[in-house]
Amino acid sequence: MIEYELSADDLADTRFAISPVQELVFSLWALRDPGRYTLHLPWRRAALAAVGADDLRLLLALVGAARGLPDFLTPRPDSFTPSLAEELATVRRTPPDIVDRDLAATHRPGPVPAVLRTATLADLIAVLERYWAASMEAVWPRMRLVLEADTTYRARRLAIGGARALFEDLHPNVTWDQGTVRIDKMIGRHRVLAAGRGLLLLPSVFAYKPIPPMSPDEPPWLSYPARGVADLWQPPAPVHPGILPALVGPPKARLLALLGEESTTTDLARRLGVTPGAVSQHLRVLHASGLLIRTRAGRSVLYRRSPLGDRLTGMG
């Protein structure tokens, strides 16, 4: 069992993030163990066809016999949605002794595979960049929508029911009691004081259970399986062009068509040639119906179609 002891300040600093490098590294589990990842078989088939044999050999060597992964490849994000380039820049700054420590811990009690012993950190980063371009870059917007929808759901639970509500349905292996988060059925056995660092929660498409860092020296973070993964790789059902306006009305149908990318109320009003007040009314209804995701960036509120909205419009 791994435990995170959170003070009141740590709980106040609990936040969410979406990490592309984490998803990239966690996806190696799906390549290595397809039987556990049947939902991801369509993605896996495409990835295996696109990744070169030498790169695949090195990538699979990063996964330990007990499915561990080196902590340095999944650094704690500094912002809500860092880019892959930003996260790989953090990986690039990893001291050599930490790289060696994490590779050894991943493969303990066995030896580090020879293909990893001869690879440099620059080699690993180059392979990850090629792997991203071949297997994930094109589908990342779809994955990100699922992850953003999960953070919206979790933030709402935290706001309504506090920490207990947030953690009670995160995963059966995660429990919350009197300021301590407990992650059961883990290889590691340690207790970490957050000590003012807060707790970072990262939804994941590829995590099959709660995943904290292996090392107790790492700042507290916890990845967990995101909601809505079951139909992630399924093609959207065709939608007759006349159905959506008849269902939600022409104004809301036009808004849904525009919201494949994040937009503000003001921008939408300008594009449609109507008042922001009129747009706001439609956005409230669409958001309450689960067809939009709403996020805040500074003083602006951004809207985008949810996965359900994508399916309804046939634009997923």
Residue 112 counted as domain residue: yes
Residue 210 counted as domain residue: yes
Question: Residue 286 in contact with residue 292, Cβ under 8 Å?
Answer: yes
Whether the pLDDT of residue 14 is over 90: the answer is no
Amino acid found at 99:
V
Say if residue 110 is in the same domain as residue 257: no
Burial zone of 135 (CB within 10 Å; 0-12 exposed, 13-18 middle, 19+ buried): buried
Show the tokens assigned to 199.
């707790």
Whether the pLDDT of residue 31 is over 90: the answer is yes
Say if residue 85 is in the same domain as residue 147: yes
Distances (CA, A) of 235 to 139, 239, 310, 315: 12, 12, 11, 10
* Predicted local confidence at residue 244, as pLDDT: 64
Say if residue 136 is in the same domain as residue 14: yes
Say if residue 25 is in the same domain as residue 169: yes
Residue 183 counted as domain residue: yes
Whether the pLDDT of residue 236 is over 60: the answer is no
- Domain boundary residue, one of 225, 256, 272: 225
* Predicted local confidence at residue 103, as pLDDT: 97
Q: Which is more confident, 121 or 247?
A: 121
Residue 195 counted as domain residue: yes
User: What percentage of the chain exceeds 70 in pLDDT?
Assistant: 94
- C-alpha to C-alpha distance for 33 and 26, rounded to whole angstroms: 12
Whether the pLDDT of residue 132 is over 90: the answer is yes
Residue 231 counted as domain residue: no
* Predicted local confidence at residue 255, as pLDDT: 86
Amino acid found at 55:
D
- Domain boundary residue, one of 171, 196, 225: 225
Say if residue 29 is in the same domain as residue 95: yes
User: What percentage of the chain exceeds 90 in pLDDT?
Assistant: 42
* Predicted local confidence at residue 117, as pLDDT: 94
Whether the pLDDT of residue 277 is over 80: the answer is yes
Q: C-alpha angle with apex 203: 198 to 208, nearest 5 degrees?
A: 120
Q: Which is more confident, 268 or 93?
A: 93
Number of C-alpha atoms within 13 angstroms, CB side, residue 86?
11
Mean pLDDT, range 271-280, rounded to an integer: 84
* Predicted local confidence at residue 243, as pLDDT: 62
Over the chain, what is the mean pLDDT? 88
Whether the pLDDT of residue 137 is over 60: the answer is yes
Instruction: Find the range with the poorest average confidence among 2-6, 223-227, 257-261.
Output: 257-261
Mean pLDDT, range 204-215, rounded to an integer: 88
Q: Residue 120 phi/psi, 5° resolution?
A: -90, 170
Say if residue 114 is in the same domain as residue 209: yes
* Predicted local confidence at residue 98, as pLDDT: 95
Say if residue 80 is in the same domain as residue 215: yes
Q: C-alpha angle with apex 190: 187 to 192, nearest 5 degrees?
A: 130
* Predicted local confidence at residue 177, as pLDDT: 86
What pLDDT, in 10s, does the model give residues 162-183?
888 888 888 999 988 888 888 8
Separate counts of helices (H) and strands (E) for the chain = 14, 9
Say if residue 219 is in the same domain as residue 306: no
- The highest-confidence range among 65-69, 159-163, 272-276, by mean pLDDT, is 65-69
Find the domain containing 205 and state its range. 2-225
- pTM score, whole prediction: 0.74
Burial zone of 56 (CB within 10 Å; 0-12 exposed, 13-18 middle, 19+ buried): middle
Residue 199 counted as domain residue: yes
Say if residue 285 is in the same domain as residue 206: no
Residue 233 counted as domain residue: no
Question: Residue 69 in contact with residue 106, Cβ under 8 Å?
Answer: yes
- For the domain that residue 259 is a member of, what is the CATH number? 1.10.10.10
Q: Which is more confident, 230 or 125?
A: 125
Say if residue 190 is in the same domain as residue 136: yes
Say if residue 126 is in the same domain as residue 214: yes
Say if residue 30 is in the same domain as residue 58: yes
What total of structural domains would you count in the chain? 2
DSSP state of 219: P
Residue 136 counted as domain residue: yes
Whether the pLDDT of residue 239 is over 60: the answer is no
